[in-house]
């Protein structure tokens, strides 16, 4: 049943120009970053003579591409998540889902999975794009796979937060703006305590947890952070919709 809801979401995303436009813009953005990374690599590396200054092309270009994912997603995801529930509220289509033999959890998880699958297209695209470097260089696929995994977790967390804000209102625009503000805050939290890398406040920041992926490290504590984040906000959303049923 979760898969059926996810399929419906994907269908709706591709039935409107919104999905295509966002996907195209993101691909353009990441494509540009890739090109920029490759150009810079040659510039920087031709200047560094000593072997100690040299860096692999994978990590150099990869950091350029994946490192910016934070900010690109902060802008793109609110636009995609805003309609998930508030649009259904506004056009009064929620009863269609609620009177079908599907549980609330299945509806919310289905929508979440649908959106993450949609954005996985982007993750695969970035992976393939960076893999093309293998034609003339010998790249580190482990780094790419690790980062793809991290990016999926980041996208998942952003989507979970977006779905929650979308469930609070029947105005998609309000959902989008509040999601954007929340995501932006999550991403820059870490900068507030940048002087002290071990400050507890910094650990709340999403950027900090995503950074270790862009360095090529998969840390279980980071993975746990993202997964807990996703579970928390999906649960909040389910509770929120359930309270609609109870209080009307």
Partner 1 sequence: MAISTLDAIDLSRNFGSNIAVNDISFSLQKGEVLGFLGPNGAGKSTTMRMLTGNLAPSDGSVKICGFDMVANPKKAKEMIGYLPEMRPLYKELTVDEFLTIAARFHKVQSSKIRRSVDSAKDKCGLTHMSKRLIENLSNGYQQRVGIAQAIIHDPEIVILDEPTVGLDPIQIREIRKLIKDIGKKHSVILSTHILPEVEMVCDRVQIINQGDLVFNGSIEDLKKQRRGNKLLVGFNNAPLKKELLAVEGVTQVDKIDNTMYRIHFNHEYVPAEEIVITATKKKWGLFHIAPDVTSLEDIFVQLTQLEK
Q: Which is nearer to partner 1, 96 or 136 (CB)?
A: 96
DSSP letters spanning the chain = -HHHHHHHHHHHHHHSHHHHHHHHHHHHHHHHHHHHHHHHHHHHHHH--SGGG---HHHHHHHHHHTTHHHHHHHHHHHHHHHHHHHHHHTT-HHHHHTSS--HHHHHHHHHHHHHHHHHHHHHHHHHHHHGGGGTS---HHHHHHHHHHHHHHHHHHHHHHHHHHHH-S-HHHHHHHHHHHHHHHHHHHHHTTT-TT-HHHHH-HHHHHHHHHTT---HHHHHHHHHHHHHHHHHHHHHHHHHHHH-
CB of 9 to partner 1, least distance (A): 10
Q: Which is nearer to partner 1, 48 or 103 (CB)?
A: 103
CB of 8 to partner 1, least distance (A): 5
CB of 90 to partner 1, least distance (A): 10
Q: Which is nearer to partner 1, 89 or 209 (CB)?
A: 89
CB of 85 to partner 1, least distance (A): 14
Q: Which is nearer to partner 1, 18 or 75 (CB)?
A: 18
CB of 22 to partner 1, least distance (A): 15
Q: Could you list the residues that contact partner 1 (CB under 8 A)? A: 1, 4-5, 7-8, 11-12, 15-16, 91-103, 245-246, 248
Q: Which is nearer to partner 1, 40 or 245 (CB)?
A: 245
């Amino acid at each position: 049943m979760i898969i059926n809801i996810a399929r419906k979401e994907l269908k709706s995303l591709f039935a409107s120009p919104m999905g295509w436009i966002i996907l195209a813009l993101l691909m353009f953005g990441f494509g540009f970053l890739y090109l920029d990374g490759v150009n810079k690599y040659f510039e920087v590396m031709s200047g560094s003579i000593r072997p100690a200054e040299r860096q692999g092309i994978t990590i150099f270009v990869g950091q350029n591409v994946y490192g910016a994912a934070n900010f690109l997603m902060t802008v793109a995801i609110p636009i995609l998540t805003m309609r998930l529930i508030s649009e259904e509220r506004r056009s009064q289509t929620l009863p269609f889902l609620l009177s079908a033999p599907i549980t609330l959890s299945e509806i919310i998880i289905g929508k979440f999975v649908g959106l993450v699958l949609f954005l996985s297209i982007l993750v695969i695209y970035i992976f393939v794009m960076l893999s093309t470097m293998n034609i003339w260089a010998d790249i580190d696929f482990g780094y790419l796979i690790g980062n793809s995994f991290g990016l999926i977790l980041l996208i998942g967390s952003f989507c979970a937060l977006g779905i929650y804000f979308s469930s609070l209102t029947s105005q998609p625009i309000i959902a989008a703006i509040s999601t954007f503000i929340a995501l932006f805050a999550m991403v820059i939290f870490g900068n507030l305590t940048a002087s002290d890398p071990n400050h507890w406040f910094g650990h709340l920041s999403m950027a900090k947890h995503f950074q270790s992926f862009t360095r090529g490290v998969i840390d279980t504590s980071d993975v746990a952070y993202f997964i807990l984040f996703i579970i928390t906000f999906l649960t909040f959303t389910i509770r929120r919709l359930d309270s609609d049923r109870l209080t009307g």
